[in-house]
């Protein structure tokens, strides 16, 4: 997720555990070039001990190939193609979910990429841009190509991030897909994850976005691990503290730092009974020291909704 799950976040949450693979935020070609920040984010030295799959947002074989070659030179063997991004500025240019109404274009892009690259390509897609029926012709196209895996987020692009993913369509997608299928969308609890796997035992994995931002322990919980309150608070303090430390090194000035940490707390506050007051407390901080003190108060002292 752009702005959240870059290398600093990935390394910190990996210390909590439970996550198998990290899909890095998408890389795009701008004016014929890949911006340096994208390289830094997936550079092996910034992702030690993590299994990372880079992702590309593109609507031409040339752009995918440029990114494929760049990531292959860094040692990556898989590239994920984003056919899910719903933002109008993206979609109206036939990028992300905006490419789903054009299966013939997807077909010709895949034909050219396959002919000119050895990279193992996986796809992350919504079920459509304007209609959830758009997935079926796209699936027919994907079935004819060499695709490592299809990660389905069953919402249409026009819904943006509103409403809920419709996991009831997953069995039909799995039945019709010639490739392994993974699931993404609105997994917020271990119970939801277990139910989804029970109903779809062949689903290869679950990709989780906002659920892990709201609860960094979610992957552990899905794996069946329980933590007592003491361990949970300590791990959380370490996680939040590590991100703060690295962001302080990375960002210029207290203002940028506080802004960045507030965007994280828009999700992290959900761990506390009084989420609203937690976020308000963070938003009021004016210095790094004040932020550090308040975070310690909140993480070590405030009632957490996951701790009795």
Ligand X SMILES: Cc1cc2nc3c(=O)[nH]c(=O)nc-3n(C[C@H](O)[C@H](O)[C@H](O)COP(=O)(O)O)c2cc1C
* 187 makes contact with ligand X (CB under 6 A): yes
Q: Name the 3-class secondary structure at 30.
A: strand
Say how far apart CA 7 and CA 27 lie, in whole Å.
14
User: Among all residues, whose Cβ is closest to ligand X?
Assistant: 209
Residues in the interface with ligand X (CB under 6 A) total 19
Within 148-167, which residues bind ligand X (CB under 6 A)?
153, 161
Question: Pick from 14, 55, 59, 127: which binds ligand X (CB under 6 A)?
Answer: 55
The nearest distance, CB 292 to ligand X, in angstroms, is: 25
The nearest distance, CB 209 to ligand X, in angstroms, is: 3
Say if CB 182 and CB 235 are below 8 A apart. no
Question: Pick from 11, 66, 91, 124: which binds ligand X (CB under 6 A)?
Answer: 124
Question: Pick from 6, 41, 149, 186: which binds ligand X (CB under 6 A)?
Answer: 186
The nearest distance, CB 10 to ligand X, in angstroms, is: 13
* 203 makes contact with ligand X (CB under 6 A): no
Say how far apart CA 74 and CA 39 lie, in whole Å.
9
Q: Which is nearer to ligand X, 3 or 229 (CB)?
A: 3
| CB count in 10 Å sphere of residue 189 | 13
Question: Pick from 125, 185, 190, 275: which binds ligand X (CB under 6 A)?
Answer: 185
Per CB under 6 A, which region of 42-50, 174-182, 206-214, 238-246 contacts ligand X? Answer: 206-214
User: Cα–Cα–Cα angle for 44, 115, 149, nearest 5°?
Assistant: 55
Say if CB 152 and CB 181 are below 8 A apart. yes
Q: Which is nearer to ligand X, 5 or 14 (CB)?
A: 5
Q: Name the 3-class secondary structure at 29.
A: strand
Which residues have CB under 8 Å from 252's CB, separation 6+?
none
* 78 makes contact with ligand X (CB under 6 A): no
Q: DSSP string spanning 96-128?
A: GGGGTT-HHHHHHHHHHHHHH--PEEEEEEEEE
What residues line the site for ligand X (CB under 6 A)?
Answer: 1-3, 25-26, 55, 82, 84, 124, 153, 161, 184-187, 208-211
């Amino acid at each position: 997720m752009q702005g959240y799950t870059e290398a600093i976040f990935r390394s910190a949450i990996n210390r909590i555990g439970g996550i198998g693979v990290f899909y890095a935020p998408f890389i795009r070609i701008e004016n014929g070039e890949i911006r340096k920040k994208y390289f830094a984010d997936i550079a092996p030295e910034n992702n030690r001990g993590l299994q990372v799959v880079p992702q590309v947002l593109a609507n031409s074989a040339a752009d995918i190939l440029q990114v494929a070659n760049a990531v292959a030179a860094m040692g990556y063997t898989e590239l994920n193609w984003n056919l899910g991004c719903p933002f109008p500025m993206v979609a109206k240019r036939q990028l992300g979910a905006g490419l789903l109404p054009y299966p013939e274009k997807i077909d010709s892009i895949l034909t050219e990429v396959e002919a000119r690259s050895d990279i193992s390509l996986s796809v992350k897609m919504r079920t459509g841009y304007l209609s959830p029926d758009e997935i079926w012709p796209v699936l027919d196209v994907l079935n004819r190509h060499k695709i490592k895996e299809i990660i389905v987020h069953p919402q249409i692009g026009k819904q943006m991030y509103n409403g809920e993913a419709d996991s009831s369509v997953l069995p039909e997608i799995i039945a019709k897909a010639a490739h392994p299928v993974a699931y993404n969308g609105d997994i917020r609890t271990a119970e939801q994850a277990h139910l989804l796997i029970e109903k779809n035992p062949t689903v290869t994995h679950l990709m989780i976005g906002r659920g892990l931002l709201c609860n960094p322990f979610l992957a552990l919980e899905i794996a069946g691990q329980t933590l007592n309150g003491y361990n949970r608070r300590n791990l959380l303090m370490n996680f939040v503290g590590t991100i703060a430390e690295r962001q302080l090194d990375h960002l210029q000035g207290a203002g940028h730092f506080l802004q960045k940490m507030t965007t994280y707390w828009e999700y992290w506050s959900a761990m506390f009974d009084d989420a609203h007051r937690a976020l308000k407390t963070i938003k009021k901080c004016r210095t790094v020291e004040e932020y550090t003190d308040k975070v310690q108060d909140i993480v070590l002292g405030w009632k957490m909704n996951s701790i009795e």
